[in-house]
Amino acid sequence: MGWNSWNSFANIINSQIVQQQAKALASNGMKVAGYEYIVIDEGWWLGERDAAGNIVVDPKQWPAIQPGQKAGDMSNIAAYIHSLDLKAGIYTDAGRDGCSMYPDSGPKLLNTGSEGHYDQDFLQFSKWGFDYVKVDWCGGAKEKLSGAVQYAQIAHAIQRAENTTGRKLFLSICEWGSQNPWFWAPGVGDIETTIWRTGGDIIPPVVESLHDAEHDKRFISSKNVLESFEAGLHPEAQHTGYYNDLDMMVIGMRGMTDALDRIHMGLWAISSAPLMVGSDLTRLSPATLSLLTNKEALAIHNDPYGLQPIKVTEPTPGVQIWAKPMAIGGRRAVAILNGTDASAEVKVDWDKLGLKGPPKELRDVWSGRDLDTGDATLSVPAHDLALLTVDGGEKTPAEYLVNQTDITKIQATRGPTFARLQYANTSGHTVVVPLKSTSGLSTALALPPTVGSDTGTVGLILPHGTADLLLEGQQRLAIRKLDVYPW
Ligand code: GLA
């Protein structure tokens, strides 16, 4: 959760803008709500290196902020972000060149990528004090590189940098879903936490201070937002610590209405997608801000299992019900999306949520009110979204009991299936284990260490078919139980 500079500032980004945005996030209620990263996207660097291959930083764009600092040093802005008790993010490309998309026109900047300098650049980012790095794919695509290969090398370079500086550097993979990253990004290079973009940009940047024919006509529509959501649905690849990234948010930006903001916030929250807000934080309306900081929506987003929703039914064309299993037994987050031009009276079929019988509790997230569980009909205005949490009884699962061995032929033959995995990991560190399915999907689970006789639990959505969970000789890891729920 945090802010990213690209959507609203594109390549005009500089120290002053970043300071203003960081200050806004720290004081407008977002920081308290959990937004913590301030990410500087493309445009911070113009592609020049010194004789030793070190990145040369423009002193005017990134001046000293405090007495005693040197202009042209990115540690100035990282220190400023840290002084607000926030985390700092930076950006590069996996290939030789970056994207260099100066809004609409302007020079194409070559050599703004990190290829050939992975160790040098990621160590530099970490030494400057950055906690997060987004690695784009414009250069990688141009050179027709393999994403799985490059990002594994990057993950290893990041691990070496972390070992040197002792600072965690979070990897954000941005190859727009071009090489099916949901198959290889979870656990790439044995990395524990990462996110991968699943599609292109919701829209090109909308920089309010720029005026030209092309730029002035940019308005965000519900189609832009819904297409990004749909492109990002890979629930079988998403596990605690590994997330499909639906793109930076455009909430409150040009063209967005309050209803469209609700659709955007509701879908990103129920998907546990990164909430990297790309809007100008100094211009957010109270309505947008209250959506971004809505506690119950954020609780759905931050559910420990971090799963994506599954479309359970479309009672009439354009009206869709999405449900996401949550860590608390029998709890579902439910989004009812009305993409039609008319208000919809939606009758929820509880059985379709994979629950036994009618719900015991029903909560409307936007209003923060309990709803009558006896009445399953909800009214959703045209082009709007209702967000609910539903508490009911979980159906009886199929149980796979094991100790020390792999689990093979896990049955999920009725479609995407919710499962809970209990394990013990006494290795002292997170272990990444592969999961392979007959559907062709291979993914990875990160299993954090457990203490003593405690068990850890993760949630997963198994793909249609049968799956094998392979421990591949992990000595200190034992699967205790796998519960597979009929949906
Ligand atoms: C790509 C990415 C965007 C942004 C721009 C910068 O388009 O998908 O998120 O980083 O590059 O040029």
What HEC string does 126-185 produce? HHHCCCEEEEECHHHHHCCCCHHHHHHHHHHHHHHHHHHHCCCCEEEECCCCCCCHHHHC
**Strands of 465-469's sheet in order across:** 407-412, 465-469, 431-437, 442-447
Say if strands 331-338 and 2-4 run parallel, antiparallel, or are unpaired. Answer: unpaired
Residue 223: count of CB within 10 angstroms of its CB: 9
As beta bridge partners, residue 331 has: 391
Sequence-distant (6+) residues with CB within 8 A of 163 are none
Say yes or no: CB of residue 175 within 6 Å of ligand 1. Answer: no
What average pLDDT does the segment 26-51 reach? 96
Q: What is the pLDDT of residues 334-364, one digit of tens each?
A: 999 999 999 999 988 888 888 888 899 999 9
Element (H, E) at 387: strand 384-394
Q: Measured in angstroms, how far is the CA atom of residue 255 from the centroid of ligand 1?
A: 20
Q: What is the pLDDT of residues 377-392, one digit of tens each?
A: 899 999 999 999 999 9
Say yes or no: CB of residue 158 within 6 Å of ligand 1. Answer: no
Q: Measured in angstroms, how far is the CA atom of residue 32 from the centroid of ligand 1?
A: 28
Q: How many residues does the chain have?
A: 487
7-11, 130-134, 363-367, 469-473: least confident range = 469-473
- Hey, what are 15's tokens? 């120290």
Cβ atoms of residues 444 and 435 within 8 Å: yes
Q: What is the pLDDT of residue 103?
A: 63
- Of 136, 245, 261, 384, the active-site residue reads 136
**Does the CA dihedral 297-301-302-303 come out positive or negative?**
positive
Q: Measured in angstroms, how far is the CA atom of residue 241 from the centroid of ligand 1?
A: 23
Label residue 75 by pLDDT band (50, 70, 90): very high
Sequence-distant (6+) residues with CB within 8 A of 251 are 261, 264, 265, 277, 279, 288, 291, 292
- Hey, what are 217's tokens? 């006509």
Helices 147-165 and 118-128, interaxial angle, to 10°? 40
Residue 74 in this model has a pLDDT that exceeds 70: yes
Residue 30: count of CB within 10 angstroms of its CB: 23
The DSSP 8-state label assigned to residue 98 in this structure reads: -
Q: Measured in angstroms, how far is the CA atom of residue 461 from the centroid of ligand 1?
A: 30
Catalytic (active site) residue 50 = no
17-21, 81-85, 239-243, 244-248: least confident range = 239-243
**Does the CA dihedral 126-35-297-287 come out positive or negative?**
negative
Q: Specify the residue with its C-alpha closest to ligand 1, atom 3.
A: 201
Q: What is the pLDDT of residue 433?
A: 84
Q: What is the pLDDT of residues 181-223, one digit of tens each?
A: 999 999 898 888 899 999 999 999 999 888 888 888 899 999 9
Say yes or no: CB of residue 245 within 6 Å of ligand 1. Answer: no
Q: Given the CA of residue 101, which atom of ligand 1 is nearest to it?
A: 12
Cβ atoms of residues 159 and 120 within 8 Å: no
Residue 63 in this model has a pLDDT that exceeds 70: yes
219: left (phi over 0), alpha (psi -120 to 50) or beta: beta
| Cα atoms in the Cβ-side hemisphere of radius 13 Å centred on 279 | 25
Q: Specify the residue with its C-alpha closest to ligand 1, atom 11.
A: 99
Sequence-distant (6+) residues with CB within 8 A of 179 are 146, 147, 148
Catalytic (active site) residue 85 = no
Q: What is the pLDDT of residues 253-278, one digit of tens each?
A: 999 999 999 999 999 999 999 999 99
Say if strands 132-136 and 170-173 run parallel, antiparallel, or are unpaired. Answer: parallel
Q: Specify the residue with its C-alpha closest to ligand 1, atom 7.
A: 201
Q: Measured in angstroms, how far is the CA atom of residue 467 from the centroid of ligand 1?
A: 35
Label residue 118 by pLDDT band (50, 70, 90): very high
What average pLDDT does the segment 444-465 reach? 89
Mutate to test the pocket of ligand 1, among 7, 41, 197 (most ligand atoms within 8 A of CB): 41
Q: What is the pLDDT of residue 102?
A: 63
Q: What is the pLDDT of residues 147-182, one digit of tens each?
A: 999 999 999 999 999 999 999 999 999 999 999 999
Say yes or no: CB of residue 3 within 6 Å of ligand 1. Answer: no
In angstroms, rounded to a whole number, what is the distance separating the alpha carbons of residues 486 and 49? Answer: 57
Identify which of 153, 228, 226, 140 has the alpha carbon closest to the alpha carbon of residue 179: 140
Say yes or no: CB of residue 174 within 6 Å of ligand 1. Answer: yes
Q: Given the CA of residue 174, which atom of ligand 1 is nearest to it?
A: 8
Q: What percent of the chain has pLDDT over 70?
A: 98
Average pLDDT, the chain: 93
Q: What is the pLDDT of residue 104?
A: 56
Helices 118-128 and 75-83, interaxial angle, to 10°? 40
